[in-house]
Structure 1
Amino acid sequence: MQQRQTRDARLDLFKGVALLIIFINHVGGNPLAKVMPARFGPSDSAEIFVFISGYAIALAYGPVLAEHGFAACQRKALDRCRQLWVANILTMLVSALVVAFAVYIGDLPMEASNRLESFAPLFDTPVTAMAWTLVLMYLPFAFDILALYILLVAVAPLFLWSYARFGYAAVALSVLLYLVAQAAPGLVPPNLWDEDWNFSPLAWQCVFFLGTALALVVRSGRVRLPQSRWLLTAVLALLGGMAVWKFAASDIGHAVTPAALRGWLPEETIPWADKDTLGPMRLLHFLALACAAALLVPRDAGWLRSAPARLLVACGRHSLPVFCVGVVLSIAGSALLVAEDGALMVVAVNLVGVAALLALALVLERRRTRRQPPRQSKPAVPSTASTPSAVPETP
């Protein structure tokens, strides 16, 4: 029997941070988004979310494949896809109600924000829009990442089976598909609102399955990330260099640089960093960021047990409801900032939104802990496997 691996609090912590950043970035016209990590490098919270989700998939479904076979693993994955699909539809309908209230009762112009405007097909041609929604081909603003995740979960058992049988050849195939996406960026599913998805599945499957492969390697114990100062220095230098490059190429960078030195500044930002196709520089930046996080935050770090860290861990542990509620709140926040974009409204939208997501995570975590059976201090039969409840589910 394959050993099940207990949760790594760092995964939930970083996913929780990513979810809060996603909410802030999804609020249209939000000045706070200008100081989020994406402003200091080509990658952003989306890579964190997808990578950790891929890592968690290996921990959740790998033992099922080993113990019960491919068919059982695929059934579990498809059942999860059904849950995600229902969550996607319900979240869209609730968000549409928010938009309807803002436009038809609040008298806001739908064209004032692309967040609101992305729901126009649902009001103009509701039957067509709902039909396209059912097949994930109508995705309003911020819904692309959930649709991407549904697709990746559906094919995850095939990757796990391929890795178990062919090893790193499965990873090589994932990288090959990524290169195909770079050579043919038009291979993206259509979207009724915005022509096509904002995430190319062929490209983004790479970061997802790199996370899956890393979890399998870590679980096997064959490979460990070397605790090297030289490696840490190299990845920090790469991250710092990209941050300087992006700042130097920005309007602010040009504005604060003396005129005599502006000729030395780059005219364009970091190349090969497109988000839709997960450009190579974007992927490199994220991998360096993940490596730095693994080196700087050990698994047994004491501060992971602090109250703020536990709150973020709870946010990441219950990522699906937190993400869905965050989407609805971001649409509502966008509408509020269209109606009133003063400093007080900006502060209120961000504080209330983040507080609501953290409160939701806290309530869900307390409910989960109450449902768990009490732990026995001295089990009658020693076992090397942890309980199924220790296996992470995601997103």
Structure 2
Amino acid sequence: MTAGVEESSWMSAADRAAFEGKGAAVAQAASWSPSVSTPTFALASGQRELRLDLFRGLALWLIYIDHVSPDLLTWLTIRNYGFSDAAEIFIFISGFTAALVYGRATLEAGFLIGTARMLRRVWQIYTAHLLLFLVLMAEIAYVVAVSEKPSFYIQEMEVANFFKEPGPMMIQALLLRFRPLNMDVLPLYVVLMAFLPLVLLLARLHRDLPLALSIVFYALTIRLDLHLSTYGEGFWSFNPCAWQLLFVFGAWCALGGGRRLSPILDSPLVFWPAVTYLCAAFFVTLTWYFPQLEGFIPAWLARLIYPINKTDFDVLRFAHFLALAVVTLRFVPSDWSGLRSHWLRPLILCGQYSLQIFALGVALSFAGYALLMELDAGVVLHVIVGATGILIMSGIARTFTWYKWAMTGRERAKAVATDLTAQTP
């Protein structure tokens, strides 16, 4: 992998992180002090962090499982065992990798060119969302036409307004104010990426300024109930005003904050409280499914922690994600041999093509969900449908990898042939 490889229009941010960085200034190891505008990136130029790919691939698989079998297979995901779920993993890593890629691009080419590249990525995510919208609406329309319970799917996927007024709803879809169920992550990603230039600009003024302002904005969001509206007097299921905290935190870690946090995260004084918090969160979630356990939670504590709001990214969810990160980093270091395992290769490949695999997963999840509902399926068929979707996602990711390898080899051969021709007298 060389720094001169051109980025693909559909290549994931994590994938491009291995190719970006041409200047020596980017690779320097000097720390980014408040008076110096050059950051120390979490990864050196051309270095690859497979853990980013691994855990983003895992998040994509978990999101698919949560969507395809929300009442059964979710017991195999992290959603039912704590306050946070795969969405936190996806958004954090997206912020981390975006800051790596476009932070270097901005440092090398200047703020104007760097911003143009970030807006290009915003456009790619936006168009992917619209394509996914069309595919999903086509799936829903087909299932509604052949099913004996069409109203169930219309209500379940929250598309009744679309079938009543498709013209106006298409306009609202273009404005990101109307979308079916399970199509909330990409609009959130669009908004967060659109504000990444501001995050990088603030980081040039002071290394901690973006995170500090993000925390203040998050507090104002909770206090003043700031949110974005949807069609029909609704609101975004993932409030960007709140979820920006996790995205900016990921960017801050990529721009040197993670290195400064490492000594703290490695301390037993942090590890064991993190384990304790995870255990406490697990017990609280058990009370949601076994009401007889609610009596073990004091009334004052219940009033303090509830509601644990996902829409506004409750601080308990953020704390749960941080605790998971602390424990995970302890058991999965950067030099972990498992990262080279063939068994984990499908996860890593899916993480490297996150935008495509996410869109594919959402489309597959509704198809699988409809199949399970129509057949009134049991546990075995749920497992088969879940596993089949994951195999398809992994196969597509491997196909993308093969295609990129084939094209890279062809371009390299063409370059050699051109060089030999030029040297022929």
Q: More deviation in 162-171 or 306-315?
A: 162-171
Aligned length: 365
Corresponding position of 2:306: 271
What is the match of residue 390 of structure 1? none
Cα distance in structure 2, aligned partners of 1:323 and 1:105 = 27
Q: State the secondary structure of the residue aligned to 1:250.
A: helix
Cα offset for 1:358? 1.4
| Corresponding position: 1:18 with 2:59 | yes
2:215 maps to which residue? 175
Does the alignment pair 1:313 with 2:320? no
- Aligned letter for 2:242? A
Indicate whether 1:362 and 2:401 are aligned.
no
Partners of 1:110 and 1:355 in 2: CA distance: 31
The CA distance in 1 between the partners of 2:70 and 2:311, in whole Å, is 21
The alignment status of 1:243 with 2:285, answered yes or no, reads: no
Matches of residues 94-105 of structure 1 in structure 2 within 5 Å?
94-105=135-146
Q: Distance in 1 between matches of 2:156 and 2:117?
A: 34
1:143 counterpart (147, 170, 183): 183
Aligned to 2:116: 75
Counterpart of 1:350?
386
Q: Give the aligned partner of residue 217 of structure 1.
A: 256
Deviations 1:228-261 (A, max 9, x none): 33322221111112112221x223262xx6xxxx
1:128-182 deviation digits (Å, cap 9, x = unpaired): 1110111111121111110000111111011011111122122110011111121
* Structure 1 residue 361, shift from structure 2 partner: 1.4
Assess if the C-alpha contact under 8 Å between 1:88 and 1:146 holds in 2.
yes
- Aligned AA (2:122): C
Taking a change above 3 Å as real, the CA distance of residues 134 and 42 of structure 1, as seen in their structure-2 partners, is: same
Q: Point out where structure 1 has 5 or more consecutive residues left out of the alignment.
A: 377-395
What is the aligned partner in structure 1 of residue 161 from structure 2?
121
The one of 334, 350, 357 aligned to 1:322: 357
Q: Which residue number corresponds to residue 393 of structure 1?
A: none
* Contact 1:180–1:202, Cα closer than 8 Å, also in 2: no
1:388 — aligned with what?
A: none
SS in 1 for 2:180: coil
Q: Quick check: 229-238 or 273-282, which moved more?
A: 229-238
Instruction: Give the aligned partner of residue 420 of structure 2.
Output: none
Matches of 1:373 and 1:228, distance apart in 2: 46
Structure 1 residues 239 and 113 mapped into 2: Cα distance closer, same or farther (>3 Å)?
Answer: farther
Amino acid at match of 1:250: W
How far, CA to CA, are the matches of 1:351 and 1:193 in structure 2? 37
Check if 1:335 corresponds to 2:370: yes
1:2 aligns with 2:20: no
For the 8 Å contact 1:65–1:161, the answer to whether it is kept is: no
User: What are the superposed Cα offsets for residues 60-86 of structure 1, whole Å, 9 maximum, x if unpaired?
Assistant: 101111111111111111111111111
CA distance in 2 between partners of 1:94 and 1:64 (Å): 33
For residues 367 and 191 of structure 2, what CA distance do their matches in structure 1 show? 27
Q: Which 10-residue stretch deviates more, 47-56 or 129-138?
A: 129-138
AA aligned opposite 1:2: V
- What's the secondary structure of 2:311's corresponding residue? coil
TM-aligned CA distance change 1:333 to 1:225, over 3 Å: farther
Question: What is the alpha-carbon distance in structure 2 between the residues aligned to residue 263 and residue 78 of structure 1?
Answer: 51
Q: Distance in 1 between matches of 2:104 and 2:240?
A: 25
Shift of 1:345: 3.1
- Greater relative contact order (Cα < 8 A, sep 6+): 1
What secondary structure does 2:376 align onto? coil
Taking structure 1 as reference, are residues 107 and 263 closer, same or farther at Cα in structure 2, changes over 3 Å only? closer
Cα deviation, 1:371-393, whole Å, max 9, x if unaligned, reads: 3359x9xxxxxxxxxxxxxxxxx
1-side partners of 2:63 and 2:374: how far apart? 22
- 2:196 alignment partner, one of 145, 156, 177: 156
Q: What SS does structure 1 have at the residue aligned with 2:186?
A: helix
Q: Which residue, 197, 200, 207 being the options, matches 2:236? A: 197
Query: 1:188 corresponds to which letter in structure 2?
Result: H
Question: Closer, same or farther in 2 for the Cα pair 1:273/1:194, shift >3 Å?
Answer: same
Is the contact between residue 115 and residue 334 of structure 1 (CA under 8 Å) also seen in structure 2?
no
Whether contact under 8 Å (2:172, 2:231) holds in the other structure is: yes
Contact 2:92–2:246 (CA under 8 A) maintained in structure 1: yes
Q: Deviations over 1:171-202 (max 9, x none)?
A: 110011111121133x2222237811101111
| Structure 2, gaps ≥5 residues long | 1-24, 28-44, 413-425
* Structure 2 match to 1:379: none
Residue type at the aligned position of 1:129: M
Asked if the contact 2:140–2:153 (Cα under 8 Å) also holds between the matched residues in 1, the reply is no
**Partners of 1:238 and 1:37 in 2: how far apart?**
15
Root mean square deviation, CA, Å: 2.2
2:68 partner letter? V
**TM-score (normalizing by structure 2):** 0.80
